[in-house]
Homo-oligomer: A and B are copies of this chain.
Amino acid sequence: MLKLTKKADYGLMALKYLAEHPENPALSAKDVADAYGIPAQLLAKILQLLTKNGLLKSHAGMNGGYALARDAREISAYEVIHAIDGPFFITSCTKGAKSCELTPSCTIKEPLARVNDTIAGVLKSISIQDLAEHEQPAHRQHAAQRLVALTL
């Protein structure tokens, strides 16, 4: 419940790794998988997904591999999750109109949609670069929490 899939997790880790090694023009799926000890074939598929969604550039053949398609600052965690796991919905029923059978009765959907948007906003505001920086400016985190608590 409300958990990131391992795939999304792996994807974020891989992008972070690429962001930390800008000197290499291309790192293979195996390189990254070995670095983190995660299944190579699985990671490969994830990277393919990210490529298909324009977050990575790929190069086949020897010495091939993947590289970030954009600057690490221009790739958000939201994009990664969306590319790997598809549309982002906290609730079982997608907001898009008719999909839910018990729509007439359930008035809970709207407030939850607001929560959904807030979470999406937070994820959109986090870039791969942020993940790659080991420094965690804690004060910014606290400020954000204060503000969220105040305003919702």
Contacts of A144 in B (CB 8 A): 118, 147-148, 151-152
Majority DSSP secondary structure for residues of A touching B:
helix
The size class of the interface chain A forms with chain B is 35 or more
Output the nearest chain B residue to A125 by Cβ-Cβ distance.
B152
B114 touches A12 (CB 8 A): no
- The listed residue (B36, B123, B141) touching A117 by CB distance below 8 A is B141
Do A140 and B151 contact each other (CB < 8 Å), given the known contacts A4-B90, A92-B4? Answer: yes
Min CB gap A76→B, angstroms: 11
Q: Which of A40-48, A65-73, A105-113 contacts B (4 or more CB under 8 A)?
A: A105-113
Q: A131 vs B108: C-alpha distance in the bound complex, in angstroms?
A: 6
Do A102 and B4 contact each other (CB < 8 Å), given the known contacts A111-B130, A122-B118, A125-B152? Answer: no
Contacts of A89 in B (CB 8 A): 3
Interface residues of A in 17-46 (CB under 8 A from B): 35-38
Q: A92 vs B2: C-alpha distance in the bound complex, in angstroms?
A: 10
